[in-house]
Structure 1
Amino acid sequence: MTERTPKRPRDPNQLARFIVDVATGEVEDRPPTPEEQGKDPAAVALGAKGGKARAAALSTEKRRQISRDAAIARWGSEKKED
């Protein structure tokens, strides 16, 4: 799993310590970039539009079939068609 930035503490003393750690550079207060995570930036950009691009490329009938299969897999029964 990817590294996440630590949540800010609710306790005032712990929050003060966190602020000092950020100010001195011991802890970074920003999410890591894709390069820092070892990911290809071009692949990250393509992944962000993946679902929308796939949906645009599918025909209406194919999208309906995928939806129907997903509903059957989730709910375990087939819905009657009108």
Structure 2
Amino acid sequence: MIGKIATGEIEDTADATKSAAAQLGSMGGKKRAANMTPERRSEIAKGAAKARWTVKQD
């Protein structure tokens, strides 16, 4: 089927919109951020930056 879509024999009929679960997941992060204090968001961001830039020693 992928080959037929790629060659233009048939048209792709897959729905390009997000699934219901994906839509709910994206709303959850926004809601969580809206309920957090600026101080707590800053703490989380600092922790993430530290984790990203810390070099692991084996």
Greater CA radius of gyration, 1 or 2?
A: 1
Query: Which amino acid letter does the alignment assign opposite residue 30 of structure 1?
Result: T
Q: Distance in 2 between matches of 1:30 and 1:55?
A: 36
Higher relative contact order (CA 8 A, sep 6+): 1
Shift of 1:67: 0.3
Identity of aligned residues (%): 37
| Structure 2 length-normalised TM | 0.61
Count of residue pairs the alignment pairs up: 51
Structure 2 unaligned spans of 5+: none
RMSD: 2.8
Residues 75 and 64 (structure 1 numbering): CA distance in 2 closer, same or farther, change over 3 Å? Answer: same
Q: Per the alignment, in what secondary structure is the counterpart of residue 49 of structure 1?
A: helix
Shift of 1:45: 2.9
Residues 48 and 30 (structure 1 numbering): CA distance in 2 closer, same or farther, change over 3 Å? Answer: farther
Matched, 1:58 2:41: no
Greater helix fraction, Structure 1 or Structure 2: 2
Pick one of 9, 13, 17 that aligns with 1:30.
13
Query: Which amino acid letter does the alignment assign opposite residue 63 of structure 1?
Result: R
Residue 52 of structure 2 aligns with which residue?
A: 74
